[in-house]
Amino acid sequence: MKLRLNHVAIAVPDLAASAAMYRDVLGADVSGQMDLAEHGVSVIFVQLPNTKIELIHPFGEKSSIAGFLEKNPNGGIHHICLETDDVAVAAAEMQKAGKRVLGPPKIGAHDHPVIFLHPKDFNGALVELEEVKD
Ligand code: CO
Tell me the CATH number at 77.
Answer: 3.10.180.10
92: CB partners within 8 A, 6+ apart: none
**Total residue length of the chain:** 134
Render pLDDT for 51-88 as a digit per residue (tens, 0 to 9). Answer: 999 999 999 877 889 999 999 999 999 999 999 999 99
> To the nearest whole number, what is the mean pLDDT of the chain?
94
* Span from the CA of 34 to the centroid of ligand 1 (angstroms): 12
**How many CB atoms sit inside 10 A of residue 46's CB?**
22
* Span from the CA of 98 to the centroid of ligand 1 (angstroms): 23
Comparing 65 with 38, the larger pLDDT belongs to 65
Taking residues 16-29, report their average pLDDT.
98
Q: Where are the alpha helices (DSSP H) in 48-126?
A: 64-71, 87-96
Distance from the first to the final alpha carbon of the chain:
14
Range of the domain at 90: 4-131
Q: Choose the catalytic residue: 83, 128, 130, 131.
A: 128
Residues 10, 28 contacting (CB under 8 angstroms):
no
Is 54 catalytic? The answer is no
* Span from the CA of 6 to the centroid of ligand 1 (angstroms): 8
Domain count, the chain: 1
Does the pTM surpass 0.95? The reply is no
Q: Closest Cα to residue 87, out of 69, 101, 68, 99? A: 101
Q: Closest Cα to residue 6, out of 45, 63, 34, 64? A: 45
Q: What is the pLDDT of residue 4?
A: 93
* Span from the CA of 86 to the centroid of ligand 1 (angstroms): 17
